[in-house]
Amino acid sequence: MKFRLGLIGAGHMAEAIARGALERGVLPAGSLCAADPSPARLALFASFGVTPLADNAAVVAASDAVMLAVKPQVLPALSADFGGLDRERQTVISIMAGLGSAKIEAVLGGPARVVRVMPNTPLMVGRGMSGVALGPHARPGDDDLAMSLLSACGEAARVDESDLDAITAVSGSGPAYLFYLAEAMERAAADLGLSGPARQLVTQTLLGSAELLAQSGEAPAELRRKVTSPGGTTAAAVATLDEREVSAAVVAALTAARDRSVALGRGD
């Protein structure tokens, strides 16, 4: 095989993974190839060292490992592209949300060495969080490449495939919850009469708080307690959040995300 990794799909997540692999030396220059319907995307990938190939079948034929980086609903239409896959020798890494190993193997034409990854969008700035799981026909060590690739774009953890629906809800969809909070904080800032610095105030507060949580080693509840003086401004805000049952709403939201991931896996 000429290439260590072949990418089927050249979207933004695949771009972040490929850039991270090359820039951080996880894979040597010249070891990645890609196929995508968009010539513009392939030209972009070529500009930082990924070899564009004519089609998906060519990627499968030329790669030791293949990464599926397409939308889940697109994959069934690509089944003919995997006719040349050596399911005994090649590994297939999927970053598609919701599609379990069984459905992926059905598209691939039979049992295969599938490794599933649930990443999130902060990997595009090198701060991603990914869960990596072996499929039922994968072998020990088949996830080593995926762990290296995703660790180059943030952090990655080995998990069981049965955990991936919950991981989708917590970290896969998680950035959207933070952005939702940021939207609300910016709206409140405007209502309170702040204008110019609102985005800066919100962004740096969220960024700094996340860094404090990461570095302190303390539980979120303890860090919250340290900010919350009895009878103070933060206590008034937290009391309002409790009155509106925001914590329960967050739990319900993540549960809904998990349930939707399960439903997508069933094809609903």
Domain hosting residue 152, numbered range: 3-161
- Per-residue pLDDT, 132: 98
10 Å Cβ neighbour count for 193?
Answer: 7
Sign of CA dihedral 227, 228, 234, 239: positive
Residue 81: inside a domain: yes
Q: What Rg value do the Cα atoms of the chain yield, rounded?
A: 21
**Helix, strand, coil percent values for the chain (each to nearest 5):** 55, 15, 30
177 and 157 in a common domain: no
Prediction pTM value: 0.91
176 and 157 in a common domain: no
Number of structural domains, the chain? 2
- Per-residue pLDDT, 268: 66
102, 135, 161 — which closes off a domain? Answer: 161
53 and 156 in a common domain: yes
Residue 201: inside a domain: yes
- Per-residue pLDDT, 1: 61
Identity (one letter) of the amino acid at 30? G
- Per-residue pLDDT, 242: 96
Cα separation, 133 vs 117, in Å, equals 6
CB 7 within 8 A of CB 32: yes
Residue 166: inside a domain: no
The H or E element containing residue 265 is helix 246-266
Cα separation, 78 vs 55, in Å, equals 11
Q: What does the pLDDT profile of the chain (268 residues) look like in tens digits?
A: 689 999 999 999 999 999 999 999 999 989 999 999 999 999 999 999 999 998 999 999 999 999 999 998 899 999 999 999 999 999 999 999 888 999 999 999 999 999 999 999 999 999 999 999 999 999 999 999 999 999 999 999 999 999 999 999 999 999 999 999 999 999 999 999 997 899 999 999 999 999 999 999 999 999 999 999 999 999 999 999 999 999 999 999 999 999 998 888 776 6
57: domain CATH number?
3.40.50.720
